């Protein structure tokens, strides 16, 4: 068999090393290994690979977006290698529809042993991909662009839209009057394994920093007043700073927050609808949304958008609310799947996160 040149794109240094060793041992030439698609493209411009081995969840740009851009610029056989590329999974279907010719599922546990196992299917998938007729693939799948559709490949983050599935979950909370004691009752009962949380608590400047510092000392979680660019990760809680808006963005497959100035929205800054609508757009069904005690209707429209995007949603029940206004309006807008008491909310959040993972 003639030489096969492979580029590995994976944000894990361990995966890059063991994949490189595995392929090299099998006689495949690894011409490069990059931590994300932007680094990969810099290398590929000078030495284009015969096959790409591509992860899905990476910083700056996710693997599906990069796959689509590669197919628009210079169609190349791609083998997806991710924990998300399971047989029949949504991400796998997305990848195959976009032009990937093969996939290998990385295990969630025992990854090192899997990568060292010659029978894991990766070498076979790469060799099969190298023989792929990309012209025939384009004819069979009309959605794949023709060569040269993108004259100069612009490797930059695309529109902020949700991935079909991701291993990361996001919990978004809207809360106002009576919220200080209420949110404490929830956060102090959550484990560090809880998905990353983003919270709008209606407060003026300076108050949210003190609230976050106090809660950080009481909880097992890391509780912070958000700064622009902070990552949303398991066990971390980010409060929108008083007097500033916050929204969720994607950096590749990672979630980060944008903190910004702007006019009052529905009399509030921070505004919960601003946050929840961005979560609906960026995280979709990978998110969980809750509207809690508070006056007015902030959060009701954003929660409805989260519901429409497939997120799991809840509202705090009237009996446990200091003010039932915000939850009542969220229920009226049709975005609430379940009404939950304050006592039951921590366990509901963890169950929602587990069911979201299982559904993916």
How far, in Å, CA of 255 to CA of 243, rounded? 22
From the candidates 202, 245, 268, 333, give the one annotated as an active-site residue.
Answer: 202
Residue identified by tokens 């529905």 is 266
Burial of residue 27 (number of CB atoms within 10 Å: 0-12, 13-18, 19+): exposed
User: Any residues with CB less than 8 A from the CB of 136 and at least 6 apart, and which?
Assistant: none
> Catalytic annotation on 82?
no
Task: Tell me, letter by letter, the H, E, C secondary structure of the chain.
Answer: CCCCEEEEECCCHHHHHHHHHHHHHCCCEEEEEECCHHHHHHHHCCCCCCEEEECCCCECCCHHHHHHHHHHHCCCCEEEEECCCCCCCHHHHHHHHHCCCEEEECCCCCHHHHHHCCCCCHHHHHHHHHCCCHHHHHHHCCCCCCCCCCCCCCCCCCCCCCCCCCCCCEEEEEECCCHHHHHHHHHCCCCCCCCEEEEEECCCCCHHHHHHHHHHHHCCCEEEECCCCCECCCCEEEECCCCCEEEEEEEECEEEEEEECCCCECCECCCHHHHHHHHHHHHHHHEEEEECCCCCCCCHHHHHHHHHCCCEEEEECHHHCCCCHHHHHHHHCCCCCEEECCCCHHHHHHHHHHHHHHHC
176: annotated active-site residue: yes
Residue (of 23, 21, 33) closest to 3 by Cα position: 23
Exactly one of 298, 300, 317, 320 is catalytic; which is it?
Answer: 298
Q: Which of 176, 278, 300, 320 is catalytic?
A: 176
Going by their DSSP bridges, the two strands 254-260 and 245-251 should be labelled as: antiparallel
The Cα–Cα gap between 310 and 356 comes to 10
Is 50 annotated as catalytic?
no
List active site positions. 176, 202, 298
């Amino acid at each position: 068999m003639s030489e096969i040149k492979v580029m590995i794109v994976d944000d894990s240094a361990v995966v890059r090393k063991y994949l490189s060793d595995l392929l090299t041992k099998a006689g495949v030439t690894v011409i490069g290994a990059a931590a994300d698609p932007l680094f990969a493209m810099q290398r590929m411009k000078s030495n284009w690979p015969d096959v790409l081995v591509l992860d899905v969840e990476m910083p700056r740009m996710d693997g599906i977006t990069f796959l689509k851009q590669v197919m628009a610029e210079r169609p190349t056989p791609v083998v997806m290698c991710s924990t998300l590329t399971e047989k029949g999974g949504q991400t796998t279907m997305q990848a195959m529809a976009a032009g990937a010719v093969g996939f290998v599922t990385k295990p969630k546990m025992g990854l090192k042993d899997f990568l060292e196992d010659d029978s894991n299917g990766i070498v076979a998938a790469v060799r099969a991909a190298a023989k792929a007729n990309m012209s025939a693939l384009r004819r069979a799948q009309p959605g794949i662009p023709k060569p040269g559709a993108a004259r100069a490949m612009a490797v930059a983050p695309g529109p902020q839209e949700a991935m079909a599935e991701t291993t990361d979950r996001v919990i978004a909370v809207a809360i106002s009057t009576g919220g200080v004691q209420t949110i404490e009752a929830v956060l102090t009962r959550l484990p560090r394994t809880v998905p990353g949380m983003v919270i709008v608590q209606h407060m003026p400047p300076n108050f949210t920093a003190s609230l976050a510092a106090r809660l950080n000392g009481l909880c097992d979680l890391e509780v912070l007043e958000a700064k622009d660019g902070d990552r949303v990760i398991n066990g971390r809680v980010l409060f929108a700073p008083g007097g500033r808006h916050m929204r969720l963005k994607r950096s590749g497959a990672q979630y980060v927050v944008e903190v910004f100035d702007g006019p009052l929205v529905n009399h509030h800054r921070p505004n919960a609808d601003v946050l929840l609508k961005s979560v609906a757009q960026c995280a979709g069904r990978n998110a969980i949304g809750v509207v809690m005690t508070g006056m007015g209707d902030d959060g009701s429209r954003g929660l409805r958008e989260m519901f429409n995007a497939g997120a799991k949603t809840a509202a705090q029940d009237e009996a446990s609310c200091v003010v039932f206004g915000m939850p009542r309006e969220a229920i009226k807008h049709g975005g609430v799947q379940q009404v939950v008491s304050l006592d039951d909310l921590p366990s509901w959040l963890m169950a929602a996160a587990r069911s979201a993972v299982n559904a993916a």
